[in-house]
Structure 1
Amino acid sequence: MADSPANPPKKGTLAAYLTMLVRVSRWHLISVLVVMVLFSLTEGVGFALLLPTLQVAGFNLAGQGEAGRYAAMVSKAFVAVGLHPSLILLLGVFVLLVGARTVLGQMQGVWTYAVQQEVEDHLRRRLYHAIADANWLFVCRSRTSDFTHALTAEVSRIGYATNLALVFIGEVAIGMLYMAIAFALSAGMTALVLISGAFLAFAFRGRTRAIERQGEEISASSKSLYAATIEHLQSLKAAKTYGAEARNFSIFSELSADVARANVDGTRQQAIAATWFELGTVVILAMVVFASLQILAVPPASILLLLLLFMRVMPRIMSGQYHYRAFVNALPSFANLLDIEARCAAAAEPTVHPHDRHSLTRELAAEGVSFTYSEGRAPAVSDLSLVIPAGKIVALVGPSGAGKSTIADILMGLVAPDSGTLRLDGRPLGPEGMRGWRDQIGFVAPDTFLFHDTIRANLKWARPDASEEEMLAALRQASAFDFVAGLSSGLDTIVGDRGMMLSQGERQRLALARAFLRRPSMLILDEATNSLDSENEGRVLDAIESRRGELTVVLIAHRLSTIRYADLIYVVEGGKVVESGNWSSLSALRDGRFRALWEAQSLTI
């Protein structure tokens, strides 16, 4: 069965794709199309020279209907420009045409690939920008592997589809030129071929939709395999610890088999379509030849030339059908990318004005703030009210799951409250001001992330214009200078994937140095010293203490010893502040919640 461009894939997706293609690669696309036309002309003209060459070589075309008239017309065209159509001249022109066709073919291949790469680059950057602009809550609710899959595998499929589309256009151009020559030889026979071909394509148009559905299945199965690959590699240490390698391998193998099966089914659909198309066209051609001889009375010479012409054009038609089907099969990847981009755009944060920076000079206050991650879940933060005075060290303590990290995300503007107000120096801090506020924040998470790059590059990521002296000062503040200086390459040491070439404590200290280097208005440390030994923890706390009054610090901690010198302590439970005060006042409350935590850790006043 055959499909046809008359029965295209989803029109909205196809229209969006074509619009994007023209916008992204307008000039390269024009160049490719011009070269395609010239390439087609060289091949068509070369074929057109066949009849006059035969005539000059001694083959009598008189009385052969359109074939003879066509050969005479070409000969007159040569004479009109002052050239006598000799055998040497015609063969020389043919050689030049072949040479030009070779050069044009090379140019077409290179420029087609350039268009493919421009499309891939554009889509990767466009999608990454949309993901980066989305709010943090949307990102948390999404699978990171879906984003990664779209940015890599899906974009590559779209690039491949672009190559297929351009090759298909070139084949259509050559086919149209050959059809024009065929019309000149026998309009009736050529019309029969075109009408019969259109009927064949219409009769088997359902095959296109089947191939498109198969493309959707390939996209879905490869996305699942991609997600499993990332998750299994990230959990490999835990899998080895729990002896789960065989279980993980079984899951991975099943997903891999699904992808292989979907790809084989796609190839099968393509082969079935190609088989039916080839058989149908041969039957049609035989019927047309019979009709041309018995009904239209086309001269035998014209029949032979038309058969030669159709034998040259039929492989291109079949190749064009294959490339169109493959394009349809890959197009669902573009639909998937558009869907992800649209969801990211719907969740985009407001654009920040370049001068809209919000420094903390008096206080940051949360007033009646509540937040829930998703419907049906209990609020992570409920009716929260607290004040972070500028220049003070403020601690948030409480059991696991109390909502401390969520409160930090709200204070940083990563997530917007469902209700209540966040005020910076008395002014409401709405969604439009969150990006400008985050520019003034340094943050260290409990699970530190480092890039597979040098220590220098990881530090400069926080502040690209930082000097080496400033980086070394930040390392000293974070108690990381000695271990970095002891490395053979110093700042130029590669830290490995996610920093795995360093210990957890070393990674945490580098993250602290990165936060200090940012010169923030407010520094948030979320369990940031948990992986440090007592000596290095003391050094970090001393560094924080040395900046008391000039830097606002929020410490989130389970280990109460790290917050002994905090100016203000908030005890959080169930997303609410249940107690507040300093170390002395809270530990003096015999029945207080802080006192219970204090006694559980066997601390002394």
Structure 2
Amino acid sequence: MAHDPSAVPTPAPASPAAAESRASRGQLSSLWRAMRHLEGRRLWIGLGLLVLGTLSEGAAIMTFLPVLQLVGAGGTTIDLSGLDFPGAGLLPAVIPLGLLLLAIVGLTGLQALFNRSKAVYLSDLIYDFTNHYRTALFRDVAQARWAHVARIPRSRIEHALTGEIERLYLAAFLVLSILQNLVGLSLYFVLSLAISVPMTLLSYGFGIVALALMRPFRRLARHYGDRLQDRRERQLAAVSEFVGSLKMARSMNLESRYLGLFSAILGQTKADAREFTRQSTIGSGLFQFAVVSGAALFIWVALRWVHLDVGRIVILLLLFMRTAPRFMGMQGAVQQLLVDLPAWGAITRLRDDLQAQHDPAMEGSDPAPAPRREIRLDRVTWRFPGESREAVSDCSLTLRAGELTVLVGPSGAGKTSMADIVMGLLEPQKGAVLVDGTALRPGQLRRWRDRTGYVAQEPFMINGTIRENMAIAAGGPVDDERIFRALDLASAGFVRNLPAGLETMMGDRGALLSGGERQRIAVARALLREPDVLVLDEATSALDWENEEALIRAIDGLRGRMTILAITHRPALSRAADAVFVMEAGRVVASERPREQGMQAEGYLGRMTS
């Protein structure tokens, strides 16, 4: 008989609340496993310290019960004559009450010192845990394929490395705080049972019911944590976009637009926080009311029904005063954990995404050859993930060693992708990069990048001195002679005449220097690497004609020292080139050699200069 699919009962879909609860439990379980795996024995030592700390608190409280029961006549001494246990005969018959109370105070002081050491140990443990994940995320970003990293919003990466990691620290701290509360409640439960079973069951049952009634407020915290995640990402994206385009925004009077956008996001964040605070404080108030009601009921039952003596009631009340805040702390810690737990989810999702795009070339250490005759891109093809159109399609071109080769063409033609392939940032999906006839292998790409220098249209500059910006290329301190040699090659000798010389501050993104000075320092920094291949991506496009001519003269002086590939829309650099390749829609459609053939009026270069 044929199987009838309709006969199989279809399980009812889970409610959104149940799905969210499972997601939170999954994230919490994942966080706990990560802490246990990474910290190992240290975590168990930390938990042991939490247990000892709670035990010391209970011991300090429980000493008051025998003290109260053994107080002699007049209330100034402790009568030990009636004690019967091994070694009791070695104790004096009477001990001054003040001396014993002083000893209890001393023990409490030792307990405070222990708690201080415990807090420092746990703080180090949590910092090590979060710093491990900060470093791991940083490494994942650095080692992922360039094509993938370039498509992730920079603000998302910055937010994960800063704000989300800080929330992860809080989440890890709260996990330990919850464990501490659980340990404390367990120990106090045992102590309470030793005094009165019914009163213990009454007080703990009341606390458990109160926690159960707070579930809607914990669900509210989970929703708020998800919204907070989104709001903070949008907030940082707005800041990053504004700061990155500050000059453009000022020049086009767009400040009010960015301010309005930023204010709107802050307003939404404030509204979310206000609603969460309003609702959560209602929950806290109800919980406190329940605790006070429980205390009143506790005293009533203890006196009227259980008929405990005053000494036991005092001790039980002391224990109740310890357990009630722990129930309240448990509710608060779980609620705050649900707010911060989405940060762990965001970090792990980003790490999984980056690790899935890990660049195998990062592990490569095979030597890469220096180009002696040529670098040839042989029918290379590249398409960005998720894109239907190929950025580079079946392209072939040759860069002769020691020559200046220029790529020209409209925006989106694939010029930058070609340059990235030459530098080894992108590995062709089809075709190959040949150095003197031998194809570069994936294991050689990292060492190949050691042979390249790169200058962008807007070069990266730190807010430091010229010396510090130059030292970036060397990966550490570098002597002045090497720096000035590179500056001279880049026609940046003006640095010698600056009052502070190499100690001249460049400002944020090099803003204290002119565009031409900044660009020539960027070229000098690339030359400090002593590259075999220099790639210039629109390096002259933002310069005036005088600075452009100075930079072209510097580039011309490098001819024969290294192989140079330049992307440009400016005719001046094209006229100085040994070879010009024209790209359109991801393909090389024409090539010229201006220095050998002259300017072809009918060619692309001719149209650029006409």
When normalised by structure 1's length, the TM-score is 0.87
The equivalent residue for 2:575 is: 564
Change (3 A) 1:329 1:73: farther
Distance 1:575 1:427 in 2: 24
Shift of 1:553: 1.1
CA distance in structure 1 between the partners assigned to 2:257 and 2:124 by the alignment:
44
State which drifts further: 282-291 or 433-442. Answer: 282-291
Residue 147 of structure 1: how far off its partner (Å): 0.8
Structure 2: distance between partners of 1:272 and 1:432:
61
Structure 2 equivalent of residue 313 of structure 1: 323
Q: For the residues of structure 2 that align with 1:146 and 1:571, how far apart are their CA atoms?
A: 36
Task: Give 1:175-186 correspondences, 5 Å limit.
Answer: 175-186=185-196
Q: Does 1:19 align with 2:39?
A: no
Residue 159, structure 1, aligned to residue 169, structure 2: yes
Find the aligned partners of 2:236 and 2:83 in 1 and give their Cα distance: 60
**Shift in Å, 1:193:** 3.0
Q: 1:479 to 1:182 in 2, by over 3 A?
A: same
In structure 1, the partner of 2:493 is 481
Which residue, out of 249, 260, 263, partners 1:250? 260
Q: Is 1:521 the equivalent of 2:542?
A: no
Q: How does 1:132-147 map to 2 (within 5 A)?
A: 132-147=142-157
What is aligned with 2:232? 222
Q: 1:453 to 1:26 in 2, by over 3 A?
A: farther
Alpha-carbon separation, structure 2, partners of 1:34 and 1:492: 53
Q: Is the 8 A contact 1:178 1:313 kept in 2?
A: yes
Distance 2:285 2:23 in 1: 21
Does structure 2 conserve the Cα–Cα contact (< 8 Å) formed by 1:214 and 1:262? yes
Of 272-281 and 311-320, the range deviating more from structure 2: 272-281
Q: 1:262 aligns with which of 272, 281, 286?
A: 272
SS in 2 for 1:10: helix
Q: 2:134, 2:165 within 8 Å by CA — same for their partners in 1? A: yes
Which residue in the other structure is 1:40 paired with? Answer: 54
Shift in Å, 1:115: 2.9
Match among 367, 372, 378 for residue 367 of structure 1: 378
User: Which shows bigger deviation, 436-445 or 235-244?
Assistant: 235-244
Q: Is the 8 A contact 1:28 1:115 kept in 2?
A: yes
Q: Is the 8 A contact 1:42 1:101 kept in 2?
A: yes
| Counterpart amino acid of residue 146 in structure 1 | R
Amino acid at match of 2:255: E
Give TM-score scaled by structure 2 length.
0.86
Output the CA distance in 1 between the equivalents of 2:312 and 2:129: 45
Instruction: State the match for 1:322 in structure 2.
Output: 332
Q: Is the 8 A contact 1:52 1:75 kept in 2?
A: no
- List runs of 5+ in structure 2 lacking aligned partners: 1-20, 75-79
Whole-Å separation in 1 of the counterparts to 2:331 and 2:93: 41
Taking the aligned partners of 2:471 and 2:330, their CA distance within structure 1 comes to 51
The structural deviation recorded for 1:289 is 5.7
- CA distance 1:562–1:376, shift in 2 (3 Å): closer
1:232 CA displacement: 1.8
Q: Write the mapping of 1:260-409 to structure 2, written as runs, cut at 5 A.
A: 260-284=270-294, 301-350=311-360, 351-373=362-384, 375=386, 378-409=389-420
Structure 1 residues 529 and 387: CA distance shift in structure 2, 3 A:
same
- Residue-by-residue CA offset, 1:95-131 (whole Å, 9 max, x unaligned): 2112112212322333333334323322221111111
Alignment map for 1:462-501 (pairs within 5 Å)? 462-464=473-475, 466-482=478-494, 484-501=495-512
Partner of 1:458: 469
Residue of 106, 123, 127 corresponding to 1:117:
127
- More deviation, 84-93/470-479: 84-93
Distance 1:384 1:84, change over 3 A: farther
Matched ranges for 1:415-426 at <5 A: 415-426=426-437
Cα displacement (A) at 1:200: 4.0
Whole-Å separation in 2 of the counterparts to 1:224 and 1:72: 73
Q: Distance in 2 between matches of 1:206 and 1:228?
A: 33
1:587/1:594 contact within 8 Å kept: no
Which stretch has the larger CA shift, 320-329 or 530-539? 530-539
Partner of 2:8: none
| Rounded Cα–Cα distance in structure 2 between residues aligned with 1:545 and 1:246 | 45
Answer yes or no: is the 8 Å Cα contact 2:220–2:276 preserved in 1.
Answer: no
Q: CA separation in 1, counterparts of 2:41 and 2:456?
A: 47
Task: Return the alpha-carbon distance in structure 2 between the equivalents of residues 78 and 269 of structure 1.
Answer: 58
Q: Which amino acid aligns with 1:50?
A: F
Q: Is the Cα–Cα contact under 8 Å of residues 270 and 322 in structure 1 kept in the other structure?
A: no
Change (3 A) 1:73 1:434: farther
Shift of 1:293: 6.1
Question: C-alpha displacement at 1:188, in angstroms?
Answer: 3.0
SS in 1 for 2:422: helix
SS in 2 for 1:462: helix
Residue 439, structure 1, aligned to residue 450, structure 2:
yes
Q: Does 1:210 align with 2:224?
A: no
Percent identity among equivalent residues? 32
- Larger mean Cα displacement after TM superposition, 420-429 or 27-36: 27-36
Q: CA RMSD in A?
A: 3.1
**1:10/1:359 Cα in 2 relative to 1: closer, same or farther (>3 Å)?**
farther
Contact in 1 for aligned 2:414/2:583 (Cα 8 Å): yes
Report the counterpart of residue 111 of structure 2 in structure 1.
Answer: 101
Task: Give 1:267 deviation, angstroms.
Answer: 2.7
CA apart distance, 1:32: 4.1
C-alpha displacement at 1:458, in angstroms? 1.0
Does the CA-based 8 Å contact 1:365-1:387 persist in structure 2? yes
Mapped partners of 2:89, 2:203: distance in 1: 34
The change in CA–CA distance for 1:95 and 1:458 in structure 2 (over 3 A counts) is same
Alignment CA distance shift 1:26-1:559 (3 Å): same
Q: CA deviation at 1:137?
A: 1.6
Residue 325 (structure 1) shift:
1.7
